[in-house]
């Protein structure tokens, strides 16, 4: 009798389980059908609107024009960096940015819906005209930038070398918009520059992340490795560039662990980039300079170094662009630029719209110095020990020939003109002393 009960109970459980599975299958099938019906309904609505506009719009509009406008509007409304590339736009995008072209030498992005200067490139017409990171561009040649895409703005700003252009900007701290007149020039990007401070601090300026950044930085470090006790890496006004170069640059200073991770909607877009001990060149004290013009790849480098506690970050909060875009062709002559993932730093924190906060905040400017003309020292006394002084500081020759300025050296006067760099030099000196 007991066995019969167990058999009956077991059969009931199997029946219930089968019923639940069948119900779950029906529910899944129903969800698929609902999703498909919703999709067809949405496409039907879109087709209906296109037909109505084509038939009744006050101006004659072809179906091709309507589709281009629809695609353009859809991509713009996804995010600030996604957009539809017409044949003309796609052709512009293929221009090699690491070559020479006629333009202003400025990198722009969308911030809070406004066309914003991420950074002017060193030594370019935009840099010489005084454009700064954070400037909001209101007009380009009297044309409003409202609802203008980044690619459209870049297309207007690029042009024939020698042709003038007028930019109207809004700058923080200024009561009125500023008009800036710029003459287009040949834009040649030199990404890596190196100098020395006091013969033992290596200063490396990375202006943008092109395909040779890691190679060039490696050369500069190896060239002065014997005498270098500390390194200042300047990423101010660096708008970013190639991800692999950002990863390779961090790898020069960090010997293990994650550098950056990329996470998207699709698992295929999820990647983790890690440091390798074999690629690490140096463990000397490191300071990284950043500001509001440091974006994308610059934020990956500075954020990774901060998370690994490998160096000290000095300057201002970065721009906050931590998304990944790809260009996907839809025909032979047209494409879409789509955001497919976001970057995350080793600690898991995001860069997007947040940026990287420096360890020591220092605003730009010059060092204010005051000389005390009334201070009296031993050397000013009438009978100070001149012979003893000569032993350590021989008399200078009478010839007053001017010394040639060494372009590879940053002098104390230069440091005083850049308070952020001066702070970086002081911090690195303290780290060198501490390390011994």
In DSSP notation, 351-381 reads -TTT----SEE--S--------TT---GGGS
Catalytic one of 191, 296, 302, 323: 296
pLDDT computed for residue 12 by the predictor: 57
**What pairs with residue 167 in β-bridges?**
140, 180
What does the alpha-carbon distance between residue 103 and residue 199 come to, in Å, rounded to a whole number?
A: 37
426 is catalytic: no
Token pair of 185 as six digits: 């020039």
| CB neighbours of residue 127 within 10 Å | 17
**252 to each of 196, 220, 249, 320, 404, how far by Cα in Å?**
19, 12, 5, 24, 34
User: What is the SS3 assignment for the chain?
Assistant: CHHHHHHHHHHHHHHHHHHHHHHHHHHHHHHHHHHHHHHHHHHHHHHHHHHHHHHHCCCCCCHHHHHHHHHHHHHHCCCCCCEEECHHHHHHHCCCCCCCEEECCEEEEEECCEEEEEEECCCCHHHHCCCCCCCEEEEECCEECCCCCHHHHHHHHCCCCCCEEEEEEECCCCCCCEEEEEECEEECCCCEEEEEECCCEEEEEECCECCCHHHHHHHHHHHCCCCCCEEEEECCCCCCECHHHHHHHHHHHCCCCEEEEEEECCHHHCEEEECCHHHCCCCCCEEEEECCCCCCHHHHHHHHHHHCCCCEEEECCCCCCCEEEEEEECCCCCEEEEEEEEEECCCCCECCCCCCCCCEECCCCCCCCCCCCCCCCHHHCCCCCHHHHHHHCCCCCCCCCCCCCCCCECCHHHHHCCHHHHHHHHHHHHHHHHHC
Token pair of 88 as six digits: 């003309």
Instruction: Return per-residue pLDDT of the chain as tens, 436 residues.
Output: 555 554 554 555 556 555 556 566 667 677 787 788 889 999 999 999 999 999 999 999 999 999 999 999 999 899 888 999 988 888 777 654 444 567 898 888 888 889 999 888 878 899 999 999 889 999 999 899 988 888 788 888 988 889 999 999 999 889 999 999 999 998 777 789 999 999 999 999 998 898 899 999 999 999 999 999 999 999 998 988 889 999 999 999 999 999 999 999 888 889 999 999 999 999 999 999 999 999 999 999 999 999 999 999 999 999 999 998 888 999 989 999 999 899 999 999 999 989 999 999 999 998 887 666 556 666 565 555 556 556 555 555 444 444 555 778 999 999 998 999 999 999 999 999 998 7
Instruction: Please give the torsion angle defined by the CA atoms of residues 34, 40, 43 and 49, in that order, rounded to the nearest 10 degrees.
Output: -100
Q: Smallest Cα–Cα separation from 251: which of 213, 284, 289, 281?
A: 281
Catalytic one of 321, 323, 418, 422: 321
**What pairs with residue 233 in β-bridges?**
204, 288
Report how far Cα 101 is from the mean position of its chain's Cα atoms: 21
296 is catalytic: yes
Catalytic one of 294, 307, 337, 418: 307
Token pair of 118 as six digits: 């991420």
**CATH 2.30.42.10, the chain: domain bounds:** 101-187
pLDDT computed for residue 268 by the predictor: 84
**CATH 3.90.226.10, the chain: domain bounds:** 192-361
**Given 3.50.50.60, 3.30.465.10, 3.90.226.10, 1.10.3720.10, which CATH number is that of 192-361?**
3.90.226.10
The pTM of this model reads 0.72
pLDDT computed for residue 15 by the predictor: 60
What does the alpha-carbon distance between residue 290 and residue 358 come to, in Å, rounded to a whole number?
A: 7
pLDDT computed for residue 399 by the predictor: 47
Fold of the CATH domain 101-187: Pdz3 Domain (2.30.42)
């Amino acid at each position: 009798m007991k066995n019969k009960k167990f058999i009956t109970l077991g059969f009931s459980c199997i029946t219930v389980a089968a019923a639940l599975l069948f119900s779950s299958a029906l529910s899944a099938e129903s969800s698929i059908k609902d999703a498909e019906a919703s999709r067809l309904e949405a496409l039907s609505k879109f087709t209906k609107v296109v037909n109505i506009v084509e038939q009744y719009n006050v101006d004659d509009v072809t179906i091709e024009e309507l589709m281009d406008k629809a695609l353009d509007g859809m991509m713009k409304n996804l995010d600030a960096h996604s957009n539809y590339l017409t044949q003309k736009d796609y052709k512009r995008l293929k221009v090699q940015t690491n070559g020479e072209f006629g333009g202003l030498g400025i990198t722009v992005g969308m911030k809070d819906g406004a066309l914003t200067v991420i950074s002017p490139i060193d030594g370019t017409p935009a840099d010489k005209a005084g454009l700064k990171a954070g400037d909001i561009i209101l007009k380009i040649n009297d044309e409003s930038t409202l609802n203008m895409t980044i690619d459209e703005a870049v297309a207007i700003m690029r042009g024939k070398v020698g042709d003038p252009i007028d930019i109207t900007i809004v700058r923080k701290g200024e009561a009125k918009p500023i008009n800036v007149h710029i003459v287009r020039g040949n834009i040649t990007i030199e990404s890596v520059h190196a100098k020395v401070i006091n013969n033992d601090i290596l200063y490396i300026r990375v202006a943008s992340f092109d395909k040779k950044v890691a190679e060039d930085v490696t050369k500069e470090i190896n060239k002065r490795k014997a005498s270098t006790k500390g390194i200042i890496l300047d990423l101010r006004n660096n708008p970013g560039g190639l991800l692999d170069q950002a990863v390779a640059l961090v790898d020069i200073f960090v010997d293990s662990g994650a550098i950056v991770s990329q996470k998207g909607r699709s698992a295929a877009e999820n990647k983790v980039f890690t440091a390798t001990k074999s690629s690490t060149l140096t463990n000397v004290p490191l300071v990284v300079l950043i500001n509001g013009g440091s974006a994308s790849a610059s934020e990956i480098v500075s954020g990774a170094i901060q998370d690994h506690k490998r160096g000290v970050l000095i300057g201002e909060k970065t721009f906050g662009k931590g998304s990944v875009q790809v260009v996907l062709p839809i025909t032979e002559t047209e494409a879409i630029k789509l955001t497919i993932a976001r970057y995350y730093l080793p600690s898991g924190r995001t860069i997007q719209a947040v940026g990287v906060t420096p360890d020591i905040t220092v605003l730009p400017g010059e060092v204010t110095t005051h000389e005390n003309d009334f201070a009296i020292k031993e050397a000013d006394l009438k009978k100070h020990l001149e012979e003893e002084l000569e032993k350590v500081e021989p008399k200078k020759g009478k010839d007053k020939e001017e010394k040639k300025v060494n372009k590879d050296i940053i002098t104390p006067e230069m440091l005083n003109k850049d308070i952020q760099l001066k702070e970086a030099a002081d911090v690195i000196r303290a780290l060198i002393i501490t390390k011994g």
